[in-house]
Amino acid sequence: MIVRDSKHSEKSKAIVPEDLDDLFTLRRIIEINDNIITDTTRSIKQRSEFSRPDKGERVKIRILLRIENIKFDGTVDRVRIGGTILNSDNQLVPKGVHHTISIKVDDMIILEKKQWKKIQSDILKNSGNNTIYLLISIDIQEAAIALVTGTHVKILPNIYSGQSGKRFQGSRMINPNIDNFFGEILLGIKSITNLHSQKQMLVLFGPGETKRRFFNFLSKEITDSITILEGIDVAGEDGIFVSLRSTSLKELLKASKIGIVSSLLDKLIYLIHKGEPKYAIGVNEVRDAVTNRSIDCLIYSNSILEKINENEFIDLLNSTETIGGKIYGVDASTDIGLRISSLGGIVGLLRFAIR
């Protein structure tokens, strides 16, 4: 999540959510009667003798909204906020009317509070991603790019070089359009990195020597850290999925959020197998651990909202934060997220056993 002080007022912050976990963070800190500034669209009806009285034109506007309700919009990929318009940059939009907006990943908002609570400031402070990782799985025929932010993985469509046919010994190995192929991959990388201000690390892998040739190409074009990962002999989107299960990538990403969650989940499985009751599985056990102040780390997938009321879950997360527990959200579509979902959508590691 990108967080900056806003020039609008001393008690306002400019915020850009960068993944689904950030949307949960926004849902936790936004309260009724907060003010929010954002860009949106609204239907404006023009009254004239040449137009229908009920026909309106949808235009882009920037509004200042007093928040009256907030919830996830069906799925958890957007936060739906309703309230009253206090001001706008369009004279045709009256003040005092009700309006609803949806906040998605990469949308910028300015959030203004009468008073920021310590827990809210701490939540924002802890939500920042220090490093983002770009995984590039490449061979002479295809390449795939995946963005890893926090515990979330976003894969771009495969990029193809146009090279075809089997490569026998003695056959021509160099694609005459290899620079064009590398250039398309570079454009894909820049389309992602230009949206993020954090420190970035690029990880290259795949069969053969194409990854090394691409490393030399990249070294002349960008200044970010670039690492070649050995031992992953699959390219394209399949190579991304293989890499996420490899021990070599896990070691490289061990300090990242996804690496930390993977290690915590391995520890949970170890405790289960050893019969050591310093863990909690499911909503009821985790709630008891929070109540007894024994929770150390809480991990949830976005599928949890199928099992618990949204407001109750937000209260559970904030209570965990209040007693010093660490919170990690994972995408239910990833391998880690599927494992958490299979364990009831929420698990916890405990400071001490409560049963």
> Do 6 and 118 have their domain in common?
yes
Q: What is the DSSP letter of 190?
A: H
> Do 62 and 97 have their domain in common?
yes
pLDDT tens, position by position, for the chain (355 residues)?
788 888 878 889 999 887 778 888 999 999 999 999 999 888 776 655 555 555 567 788 899 999 999 998 866 778 999 999 999 888 878 888 999 999 988 889 999 999 998 888 888 887 765 678 899 999 999 999 998 887 778 888 899 987 654 443 444 445 557 889 999 999 999 887 766 666 788 999 999 999 999 999 998 888 778 999 998 999 999 999 899 888 888 888 888 888 889 899 999 999 999 999 999 999 999 999 999 999 999 999 888 988 899 999 999 999 999 999 999 888 877 788 888 999 999 999 999 987 6
Domain's final residue, options 252, 285, 303: 252
> Do 190 and 153 have their domain in common?
yes
> Do 73 and 116 have their domain in common?
yes
Residue 244 lies inside a defined structural domain of this protein: yes
> How far apart, in whole angstroms, are the C-alpha atoms of residue 45 and residue 53?
7
Kindly give the pairing relationship between strand 142-149 and strand 346-350.
Answer: unpaired
Q: What is the pLDDT of residue 257?
A: 83
> Do 235 and 265 have their domain in common?
no
Q: What is the DSSP letter of 3?
A: E
> Do 120 and 9 have their domain in common?
yes
Q: What is the pLDDT of residue 52?
A: 57
Residue whose tokens read 């949308």: 107
CATH of the domain at 182: 3.30.420.60
SS3 45: strand
Residue 198 lies inside a defined structural domain of this protein: yes
For the purposes of burial, counting CB atoms within 10 Å of the CB of 147, is it exposed (0-12), middle (13-18) or buried (19 or more)?
buried
The DSSP annotation for 263-327 comes to HHHHHHHHHHHHT---EEESHHHHHHHHHTT-EEEEEEEGGGGGTS-HHHHHHHHHHHHHTT-EE
Domain's final residue, options 196, 222, 252: 252
Residue 80 lies inside a defined structural domain of this protein: yes
Q: What is the pLDDT of residue 89?
A: 87
Residue 116 lies inside a defined structural domain of this protein: yes
Domain's final residue, options 252, 267, 298: 252
Q: What is the DSSP letter of 181?
A: H
pTM of the predicted model, to two decimals?
0.77
Q: What is the pLDDT of residue 51?
A: 53
Helix segments in the chain, DSSP class H: 20-29, 118-126, 178-193, 210-219, 236-244, 247-252, 257-274, 283-291, 310-322, 335-342
Q: What is the pLDDT of residue 128?
A: 62
> Do 103 and 137 have their domain in common?
no
Q: Which CB contacts under 8 angstroms, 24+ apart, belong to 66-74?
A: 66/33, 66/34, 66/35, 67/30, 67/31, 67/32, 67/33, 67/34, 67/35, 67/36, 68/32, 68/98, 69/32, 70/27, 70/30, 70/31, 70/32, 71/27, 71/310, 72/23, 72/27, 72/305, 72/310, 73/102
Instruction: State the total domains in the chain.
Output: 3
> Do 241 and 266 have their domain in common?
no
> Do 64 and 37 have their domain in common?
yes
- Containing domain of residue 334, as a range? 257-350
Q: Which residue from 77, 54, 60, 80 is spatially nearest to 68, judged by alpha carbons? A: 80
> Do 117 and 194 have their domain in common?
no
> Do 41 and 117 have their domain in common?
yes
SS3 236: helix
Q: Are the C-beta atoms of 355 and 271 separated by less than 8 Å? A: no
Residue 355 lies inside a defined structural domain of this protein: no
> Do 17 and 59 have their domain in common?
yes
The DSSP annotation for 155-175 comes to EPPPEE----S---TTS----
CATH of the domain at 119: 2.30.30.870
Q: What is the pLDDT of residue 204?
A: 95
